[in-house]
Amino acid sequence: MTDFTPVSALVGGLLIGLSASLLLWLNGRIAGISGVLGGLLWPGSGDRAWRGWFLAGLVLGGGGYYLVTGVTAPIRLGFPVYLLLLAGFLTGFGSARANGCTSGHGVCGLARLSLRSLVATATLLIAAIATTYVVRHIVGVSS
Amino acid sequence: MSLSRSLLQGASSLAAGTVFGLGLAIAQMTDPNKVLSFLDITGHWDASLLFVLGAAVILSAATFHIILRKPSPRFDSRFHLPQSALIDARLVTGAAIFGMGWGIAGYCPGPALASLGFGNSELFWLLAALLLGMALQAWLDRVSYPKARLDST
Percent share of chain B, pLDDT over 90: 84
Using an 8 Å CB-CB cutoff, list chain B residues near A28: 72-73, 76, 78-80
Task: Assign A109 to helix, strand or coil.
Answer: helix
Judging by beta carbons within 10 Å of its beta carbon (0-12, 13-18, 19+), is residue A45 exposed, middle or buried? middle
CA angle A123, A126, A132 (to 5 degrees): 135
Whether ipTM > 0.90 holds is: yes
B26 pLDDT higher than 90: yes
Helices (DSSP H) in A23-80: which residue ranges?
33-41, 48-69
Q: Is residue B150 a part of any domain in this protein?
A: no
Confidence class for position B147, pLDDT limits 50, 70, 90: low
Domain limits for position B66: 3-144
Report yes or no on B27 lying in a domain: yes
Quick check: B130 pLDDT over 90? yes
Q: Is the pLDDT of residue A1 over 90?
A: no
Question: Has residue B11 been placed in a domain?
Answer: yes
Which pTM value belongs to this model?
0.95
Q: How far A105 CA lies from chain B's nearest CA (Å)? A: 7
pLDDT for B145 equals: 72
How sure is the predictor about A16, in pLDDT bands with cuts at 50, 70 and 90? Answer: very high
Domain boundaries, chain A: 6-139
Residue B102 has pLDDT above 80, yes or no: yes
Using a CB–CB cutoff of 8 Å, tell me whether B57 touches chain A.
yes
Is residue B148 pLDDT above 60, yes or no? no
What is the per-residue pLDDT for A143?
A: 66
Select from B61, B76, B109 the Cβ nearest to the Cβ of A28.
B76
pLDDT on residue B153: 44
Number of domains in chain B: 1
Q: Which residue type is seen at B78?
A: R
Q: What is the pLDDT of residue A82?
A: 97
Select the residue of A21, A23, A87 nearest B105 (Cβ to Cβ). Answer: A87
Res B36 pLDDT > 80: yes
| Side chain identity at residue B148, one-letter code | A
Distance from CA of A4 to the nearest CA of B (A): 5
